[in-house]
Amino acid sequence: MTETDFDPSKPESFAYWTQERLRAGDLDIVGHVNNNAIGVFLENGRVRMFMAAGENLYSAAAEGGSPETTWVVRRLEIDFVREIRFPGIAWTGTRVTRFGNTSCRVEQGIFVDGTCRVTAVATAVCFDPRGRKSVPISESLRASLLAACELDGDGPAGL
């Protein structure tokens, strides 16, 4: 699939998926899942995709150190397409659609009951936490991210 074919509102655009059980505590005053919870769903999708690509994001920190590289979000754009209501399951599709030298474009869609509810685009920067600066994305990491996002099916059952 080329970048021009990519449509974050269609589940078939994604191969990497995470699942979130909607909670009553995620709701705002009018009964929608709130923007903070949606941000967490998107973050979980990005972090888990990077981890699926072999990124050691948290185990080094748990051991009192820091990873050689990690990812930080430089920009995040979220479109709230349709409301999400409790109860239910939200599926977040995540995919890298473009690479730069030190950053990548991560596109996401959140689906409930087979319908796109949210789309998002993040610019994620490969970051050296010790040097506090961006660093080039290695060829092996690019390949691992592409492999984690490879389309090999139609996504979760029911979408």
Count of domains for the chain: 1
Asked whether residue 78 is domain-assigned, the answer is yes
Asked whether residue 156 is domain-assigned, the answer is no
Amino acid letter, 126: C
Contacts of 108 (CB under 8 A, 6+ apart): 8, 42, 45, 46, 92, 93, 94, 95, 118, 119, 120, 121, 122
Find tokens 């994604």 and name the residue. Answer: 14
Whether residue 14 has pLDDT greater than 70: yes
Nearest to 112 by CA among 133, 135, 89: 89
**Is the peptide bond prior to 11 cis by the omega test (within 30 degrees of 0)?**
no
Averaged pLDDT for residues 141-148:
91
In whole angstroms, what is the distance from residue 46 CA to residue 14 CA? 13
Asked whether residue 158 is domain-assigned, the answer is no
Asked whether residue 132 is domain-assigned, the answer is yes
Instruction: Give SS3 for 106.
Output: strand
Q: What is the mean pLDDT of the chain?
A: 89
Token pair in block for residue 101:
């030298």
**Contact predicate 9/116, CB 8 Å:** yes
Question: Residue 23's pLDDT is what?
Answer: 96
Q: The CATH number of the domain where 127 resides is what?
A: 3.10.129.10
Asked whether residue 126 is domain-assigned, the answer is yes
Asked whether residue 157 is domain-assigned, the answer is no
In whole angstroms, what is the distance from residue 110 CA to residue 81 CA? 10
Asked whether residue 133 is domain-assigned, the answer is yes
Q: With bands split at pLDDT 50, 70 and 90, how would you rate the model's confidence at 86? A: very high
Asked whether residue 30 is domain-assigned, the answer is yes
Range of the domain at 112: 3-148
Token pair in block for residue 21:
């059980």
What is the helix, strand, coil percentage profile of the chain, to 5? Answer: 25, 35, 40
49: how many CB neighbours lie within 10 A of its CB? 26
Segment (H or E) for 120: strand 115-128
Instruction: Give the model confidence (pLDDT) of 51-82 as tens digits.
Output: 988 877 666 555 655 567 889 999 999 999 99
